[in-house]
Amino acid sequence: MRLPARPAPARLVLARLVLARPALARVAALAAAVALALPAGAAAQPVTKSPARPAVPGASAAARAEAPVVEKVDPPNWWAGHSINPVRLLVRGRHLAGARMECARVTCGAVQVNAAGSYAFVDVTVPRGARPGTYPLTLRTRGGRAEIPFAVHAALPAAGRFQGFDANDVIYAIMPDRFANGDTTNDEPAVSRGILDRREARRWHGGDLAGIRARLPYLRDLGVTALWLNPIYDNTNTLDTVETVAGRATTAYHGYHAIDFYGVEERFGDMAEVRRLVDEAHAQGIKVVFDMVANHTSAYHPWVQDSPTPTWYNGTQREHLANTWQGWTIADPHSTPEMRRATLAGWFGGFLPDLNQDDPEVARYLVQNTLWWIGMTGIDGIRQDTWQYVPRPFWNRWMTAINREYPRLRVVGEVLEGDPALNAFHQGGQVGFDGVDAKVQSMYDFPVYFALRDAFARGRPLRQVALMVGRDRLYPNPDMLWTLLGSHDEPRFMSEEGATTAGLKLAQTFLLTYRGIPLLYYGDEIAMPGGRDPDNRRDFPGGFPGDARDAFAAGGRTPAEQDVWAHLQRLLRVRRERADLRTAPMVHLHVADQQYVYRRGRSVVALNNDAQPAEIRLPAATLPTTPAADALALCPAPRRDGEAVVLTVPARTGCIF
C-alpha cells in the first residue's frame, strides 16, 4: 500500500501558449501536452490563467513588470527518437510569472509556473529527425524576454555501452574521493574552497575521476570486470553545519548530498572527464555502474528554500518527519499506511530532505534525470541508494522507463537488512501483496553478508552461512544478487573482532565461488583495516601526492598485503577460467559446524573454517567425477576410498577442485 493521500500539488499558473495555429488547434495541442506530461493513471492538476494586474495610472504593464531571468534548465539537452518525448523542462529563475514560450525548431507545450514565479515547467517535443545542435528557446513575460539554452544531442552508439551486469561480472566499489587523485588542479575549486583536508576523516581528500582512470590497468590486472562509483553528482559546496558529528561540521565527500542532479561534482571533474573514464574503462573490458539517489537531496539544495511545487518534499525543513528505519513495515501486509509513513516520508537521518515521488512533477524529474545520465555517459548499470525508503509504485514507473529505453542495462537496489524475506520482497520479477512489481533485477545480499562476517571474521559456525544461502528459495532470481564482504557503510572485515588475513582469504574464496555477482570494496584486496564510517573510507595508499608508499604496486605492499592481493587475483583468474563457478547451479554436498562443501557444475568448493584440519568424506555418487587437484594449490588432491571421495582441507582454508 502507498502512503496516505498527501495534499495535491499546488496549482500551477498556466501561461497562454502562443503558436501560429487556429484557436481550436491551440486548445487541442494544450490538452495533448498536459496529457503527455502526466504519469500513467494520474489526474491532471488544476491550472489557472495568470491573474490580470490592476491598471496603474501613467505606467504601462511592461514598465511595471520585471524582466524574467533564467538561471538553470533541467535537462539542458535531450535526444531525437527518445522513448520520452516530449521531455519536460524545469526552468529555474526569477520573475517567470505569466510566461509563454517561443520555440522555432521544436514544439513547446503549455508553460506552468509556480506561485513564486521561480520555476516554470514546459514540455518540449523534439522532432524525430531533428539534427544534433543548439535549439534555443525564448521565454517571454510582460516584463521582457529571456533565452533558454537547449540542445539536441546525437545518441551514443549502443555497441559496447549500456551492457548491464550479471553473474559473469565481478564489481569493484570505489569512493572517488578516497581512491586516487589524478588531477590536483580540481582540489580547491573556486565555488568550494577551504574544505579539503586529508587529516580530517570527514573532509574532502582530493580523489577524482582522473585518478580512477589512471588506475584502470591496476584494476584490469587484478581481474575485476566492472566498477561501481559512489555518486558523482554536484554536492554541497560548503562545510555542512546541518549534519554535524560531535559538534563538528562535515562535508559531502561521499557524494550522497546532491545540490544539482544534472551537475558533475567539480572536485571529481566534468562531464568530459566522466565520458573519458567510461570510454576508457569500456576499452579495457571494464563496465561502469553509477550510484544514484532518488530518495533525498542535500539540505543545501536550492529546492529546500524554494521548491518547484509545494509538495516537492515530504514536509519542510522546519516541519518534517524523521526516518524511523522501520523497513519491515513496507513488506508487512498487515502494516497500516500510518506505520509506514515515517519510513517512506521521513527525512534520512532527520536532516536530509525527503523527495516526494508521489508528486507527479518529482517523479517525472527523477525518471528523466536517470535517463539523461545513462544517455550522456554510456554506463552499464545503476546502483540505487536507500531503495526501501521510496514508494514502490515509483520504482515500477522508474524501472519501466529504463527498460524501455535501455533494455540491457541493469539496476541493483540497496536494502541494508539482514532478513532475506524482506530483501527478497523488493527484488523485481514478482508482484507483491501491494500489487506492485518493482522490476529491479538485483538486490544486495546483506543477509548472507552478515552470516559471512560472523563466520569468517568472528569464527562463529560456518553452518549459518549455508543455512542463509538455503533461503534462496525466497528470491525470484538469487543469481542476480550482489554478494559482498565489505562496503562503505560497514566496518571493514579486518577491523572485526577476531579477523585475520587467513579468515579474509577464506571469505574471498567463498565470495568468488558461490552464486551471485561478487562485489569487492576498494582496499579489501590489501586487507585494509577501518572501523565505522568514516574510518572505513580511508585513502588508498599511493593514490595521493606525498603518500609514503604505493600499494597499487607490489613493491609498495607489505608481505601480508601482497599475500591477500595475490590470493584474490588467483581466485579471480580461476573464476574467469571456469564458467561453472559463475553460472552453474549451486549444490550443497556437505554442511557441518565449521565445514561447507558445495558443487557448481564440475567444480567442487570445500571450506574449512575450523582452527584444525578437516577430513571430509563425500559420497562419490554426488560427484560427476573424482575432483581434480586444487586450483589454488592449498589442499592435497582428493582420494577415493571405496564409495567415498575424501577431501583433506587445512585449517582456515578454502579449496577449489
Q: What span, in angstroms and rounded, lies between the C-alpha atoms of 171 and 209?
A: 17
Hey, is 281 helix, strand or coil? helix
Look at the block and give the residue holding cell 537547449. 150
Q: Check pLDDT > 70 for residue 17.
A: no
- Asked whether 323 and 347 are in contact (CB, 8 A), the reply is yes
Q: Check pLDDT > 60 for residue 383.
A: yes
Residue 29 or 392, more confident: 392
Q: Check pLDDT > 90 for residue 8.
A: no
Q: What is the pLDDT of residues 475-532, one digit of tens each?
A: 999 999 999 999 999 999 999 999 999 999 999 999 999 999 999 999 999 999 999 9
Residue 117's contacts (CB-CB under 8 Å, 6 or more residues apart) are: 94, 95, 96, 97
Strand partners, 348: 352
Which amino acid is it at 193? R
Closest CA to 353 of 323, 325, 388, 308: 323
pLDDT at 336: 97
Q: Check pLDDT > 70 for residue 357.
A: yes
pLDDT at 59: 42
pLDDT interval class at 626 (50, 70, 90): confident
Q: Check pLDDT > 60 for residue 51.
A: no
CA 560 to chain centre: 33
Pairing verdict, β 100-102 and 119-125: unpaired
- Phi/psi-derived region of residue 443, left when phi > 0, alpha when psi is between -120 and 50, beta in every other case: beta
Q: What is the pLDDT of residues 63-100, one digit of tens each?
A: 578 999 999 999 999 999 999 999 999 999 999 999 99
User: Where do the domains of the chain lie, and which CATH numbers do they carry?
Assistant: 12-52+63-153 (2.60.40.10), 171-577 (3.20.20.80), 586-656 (2.60.40.1180)
Look at the block and give the residue holding cell 524529474. 365
pLDDT interval class at 420 (50, 70, 90): very high
* Least confident among 57-71, 218-232, 239-253, 437-451: 57-71
pLDDT interval class at 605 (50, 70, 90): very high
Residue 209's contacts (CB-CB under 8 Å, 6 or more residues apart) are: 176, 182, 232, 268, 269, 273, 274, 276, 277
State how far the alpha carbon of 15 is from the alpha carbons of 50, 87, 122, in Å: 6, 18, 10
Which amino acid is it at 314? N
Pairing verdict, β 171-174 and 226-229: parallel
Q: What span, in angstroms and rounded, lies between the C-alpha atoms of 590 and 609?
A: 13
∠611-616-621 over CA atoms, to 5°? 160
- Asked whether 255 and 261 are in contact (CB, 8 A), the reply is no
Count of CB atoms situated within 10 Å of the CB of 185: 8
DSSP code of 279? H
Q: Going edge to edge, which strands form the sheet with 133-134?
A: 77-79, 151-153, 133-134
State the cell numbers at 426: 523488493
State how far the alpha carbon of 435 is from the alpha carbons of 43, 331, 394, 539, in Å: 20, 12, 13, 45
Taking all residues of the chain, what is their mean pLDDT, rounded to a whole number? Answer: 92
Q: What span, in angstroms and rounded, lies between the C-alpha atoms of 275 and 374?
A: 11
Count of CB atoms situated within 10 Å of the CB of 284: 11
Average pLDDT (218-225) is 98
Q: What span, in angstroms and rounded, lies between the C-alpha atoms of 110 and 610?
A: 70
Q: What is the pLDDT of residues 581-600, one digit of tens each?
A: 999 999 999 999 999 999 99
Q: Check pLDDT > 80 for residue 61.
A: no
Q: What is the pLDDT of residues 23-46, one digit of tens each?
A: 333 323 333 333 333 333 333 333
Q: What span, in angstroms and rounded, lies between the C-alpha atoms of 160 and 170?
A: 17
Which amino acid is it at 525? E
- Asked whether 598 and 586 are in contact (CB, 8 A), the reply is yes
Q: What span, in angstroms and rounded, lies between the C-alpha atoms of 330 and 334?
A: 10
Tell me how far apart the terminal alpha carbons of the chain are, to the nearest angstrom: 49
State the cell numbers at 2: 502507498
Q: What span, in angstroms and rounded, lies between the C-alpha atoms of 636 and 297?
A: 55
Distant-in-sequence contacts of 189-196, Cβ < 8 A, 24+ apart: 189/266, 189/267, 191/237, 191/266, 192/237, 192/238, 192/266, 192/267, 195/238, 195/239, 195/251, 196/267
pLDDT at 60: 52
Pairing verdict, β 517-521 and 482-484: parallel
This prediction's pTM: 0.90
Q: Check pLDDT > 80 for residue 657.
A: yes
